[in-house]
Amino acid sequence: MKQQTAQTRTKRGTPDFQLLILTLLLVGFGLVMVFSSSSSIAIASESFKNDALYFTKKQLMWAMIGLVGMFFAMNIRFNKYKKLYAPFFLFTTALLLIVLVTGAVLNGARSWIRIFGFSLQPAEFAKIAIILYLSALITKKGERFRDFKTGYFPVLFIVGFIAGLIMLQPDFGTCFILVSTCGLVIYAGGANMKHILGSILLVALGGALAFGASALFSSMSPDTPALDSTTTVTAEQNYKIGRIQAFLDPESDINGGSLNLYRSLVAIGDGGITGSGIGQGTMKLHYLPNAYNDFIFSVIGEELGFIGSALFLLVYLYFIWRGIIVSLRCPDPFGTLVGIGIMGLIAIQAFINIGGVTQTIPVTGVTLPFISYGGTSLFVMMVAMGIVLSISRTNNLEAIKEEKTKSVTVQTRTSPALRSRDSIRRVR
């Protein structure tokens, strides 16, 4: 049995254990921080059954489901995803259409749908579906991908269609992450730089027009007071303008649109160099909204301080770097594009989350991968890492084959029979 198991592992390759351990470490650290940031809120609220572990137990349940999904995805040969991407993409598109009709509204966005008793966010599945779809399509087109009509435009149309469905919810943060990730995959796939720059200008122009139209309609609304030199536009009147105003001046409206960012900066500042210790933070005590979700990095900054936050970021960066290395080593362009897309997705989303709560960029309200509370996000990210680990298994298998080939070549050249034949030939 042991010999058969060893042969099976050799045929399938071993996963990159550094990447696997780092993934599990991030998930474990996320569970600790979810408990630390949510326990005081949950125990004081009847809505959460006065249970300090209310959010932690839910996150742990999704972590276990995600662990099963990750190992399942890891044990599928990554080249089989070339066949699975189409039904998965169609299924995800159907969910995005369904959520617009029957989805639950939360924070002004219709992003959630209930399936078999679980609340799911289809936009999270769309991130992986679009990466698989684009990677397969770009690989299939090959050199034709550099042609605008037959290669680039069909890809651009697919991205625009999915991004449009997400914007209808509306969910600007997720849409921006998806478009940015798709741009990375398209660039890595060898697209013409003129086409890419043209697309960036088009997206920027469209975003500016949409933002201007939104501000115009908001100012024309009868519920919105006329603006003058003394009127402050709050997040309730126009949350987009409110977030930009908060980014430019966090103290401009600390009781309105700037509340979240202002208290986030206070929490990080209170952490100092060493932090107050895990579980000892005070800003999460009904002061910092969404402390266990969008602003969980603020809790990390307060409780672990500069040193702990820097260590966490270094581990996170090494995790992303390791995933990119695994992707670049893949002998199949499809695997390389999928791996770069997944690791790029994690890096972009982490940057937007951390950048928002530290006033580096405007707040967009997205989760920190593997760390923030959110079942769908955690499950999708763990399954995505299962795909990257599947790619690493193929890499290790190819490395084993190369070593065996070299070994056989060396043995053949140095074998006594071969040496005797060579000596006979030289004598003749």
Range of the domain at 267: 17-208+250-398
In a domain, 409, yes or no: no
pLDDT digits (tens, 9 = 90+) for 198-246: 878 877 776 666 656 555 555 554 544 444 434 444 444 455 666 666 6
In a domain, 425, yes or no: no
368 Ramachandran zone, left/alpha/beta (phi>0; psi -120 to 50):
beta
In a domain, 222, yes or no: no
Look over the chain and give the mean of its residue pLDDT values, rounded to a whole number.
Answer: 81
In a domain, 385, yes or no: yes
pLDDT digits (tens, 9 = 90+) for 75-100: 988 888 888 888 999 999 999 998 88
Which position has the token pair 């949409």? 210
In a domain, 278, yes or no: yes
pLDDT digits (tens, 9 = 90+) for 329-388: 998 899 999 999 999 999 999 999 999 899 888 877 789 999 999 889 999 999 999 999
pTM of the entire predicted model: 0.84
| Closest residue by Cα to residue 101 from 115, 90, 113, 84 | 113
56: DSSP letter: H
pLDDT digits (tens, 9 = 90+) for 9-29: 446 678 889 999 999 999 999
In a domain, 225, yes or no: no
The pLDDT of residue 59 is 94
Largest Cα span, the chain: 105
Number of domains in the chain: 1
26 neighbors 319 (Cβ within 8 angstroms): yes
% pLDDT > 70, the chain: 76
Cα separation, 354 vs 359, in Å, equals 9
In a domain, 332, yes or no: yes
52-58 CB contacts, 8 Å cutoff, 24+ apart: 55/292, 55/373, 56/31, 58/373, 58/375
End-to-end Cα distance, the chain: 52
In a domain, 214, yes or no: no
